[in-house]
Amino acid sequence: MPEVMINGPEGRLEARYHHAEEPGAPIALVLHPHPQHGGTMNNKLVYTVYHIFRERGFSVLRFNFRGVGRSQGRFDNGLGELSDAAAALDWMQTINPNAKFCWISGFSFGAWIAMQVLMRRPEIHSFIAVSPPANMFDFTFLAPCPSSGLIIHGARDDLVPESDVATLAQKLQNQRHIEIDYRVIKGANHLFEEKIEILGKNIESYLDENMAIAEAG
């Protein structure tokens, strides 16, 4: 799990990167929660998702947004963080020019940024959004959502009501040409405390099923 420094829009971005051995392996970018509320690339959930991708043969990157850890710059209310994510994806694509597929995932604030990257990068095959903060940030830019994906949320989320995320998922499910898999984890709060293993199994099953379909297609 080598440490790397990426040239971001406001200076260096601290990252951890795993390079898959197989030529042309798919790539994945994992984005962390809100920088002003303790979110870092070492968040337990981010770490879990990173390893799920790694175990399935992906080249995968997680990094600290500007102003977090050893990443340079200051928090920019989402605009700068979106640019950071785009720079990180550019870096991965330079290292992996022949990647078969590109996935993006984010947790909470990171899910909001991930979905914005999805709208701007047509090469992204699919997404995994964990606890998207539908009550705090505007997701209306997903019109239409360009790719199918997984939205997963905790039934007892104390920060983002499940009903708000269900409404978001329903709006996306009504769009044509994509499929949104919406899963609710019983008893899980926003951080999925004591439920991360269950969360991981849901992400693994979704990823395995969809990669099999993509490979067959």
Q: What is the pLDDT of residues 119-158, one digit of tens each?
A: 999 999 999 999 999 999 999 999 899 999 999 999 999 9
Are the CB atoms for 130 and 152 separated by under 8 Å?
Answer: yes
Phi, psi of 130 (to 5 degrees): -105, 125
Instruction: Please count the other Cβ atoms lying within 10 Å of the Cβ belonging to residue 162.
Output: 17
The yes/no answer on whether domain 3-216 falls in CATH 3.40.50.1820 is: yes
**Res. 213 pLDDT band, cuts 50 70 90:** confident
Phi, psi of 199 (to 5 degrees): -55, -50
Are the CB atoms for 39 and 67 separated by under 8 Å?
Answer: no
- Residue from 104, 137, 86, 110 nearest 33 by CA: 110
Pair of tokens at residue 216: 């067959």
Report the amino acid identity of residue 115. Answer: M
Distance CA 31, CA 8 (A): 15
Question: Chain-centre distance of CA 45, in angstroms?
Answer: 11
3-state secondary structure of 187: coil
- Percentage of residues of the chain with pLDDT beyond 90: 95
Report the amino acid identity of residue 114. Answer: A
Q: What is the pLDDT of residues 41-74, one digit of tens each?
A: 999 999 999 999 999 999 999 999 999 999 999 9
Q: What is the pLDDT of residues 78-129, one digit of tens each?
A: 999 999 999 999 999 999 999 999 999 999 999 999 999 999 999 999 999 9
Phi, psi of 129 (to 5 degrees): -110, 115
- Residue from 185, 134, 188, 128 nearest 164 by CA: 134
Cα distances (angstroms) measured from residue 122 to each of 24, 29, 102, 104, 126: 18, 15, 10, 12, 10
Q: What is the pLDDT of residues 3-45, one digit of tens each?
A: 999 999 999 999 999 999 999 999 999 999 999 999 999 999 9
CA-based max dimension of the chain? 44
pTM of the shown model: 0.97
pLDDT of the residue at 50? 98
Q: What is the pLDDT of residues 160-196, one digit of tens each?
A: 999 999 999 999 999 999 999 999 999 999 999 999 9
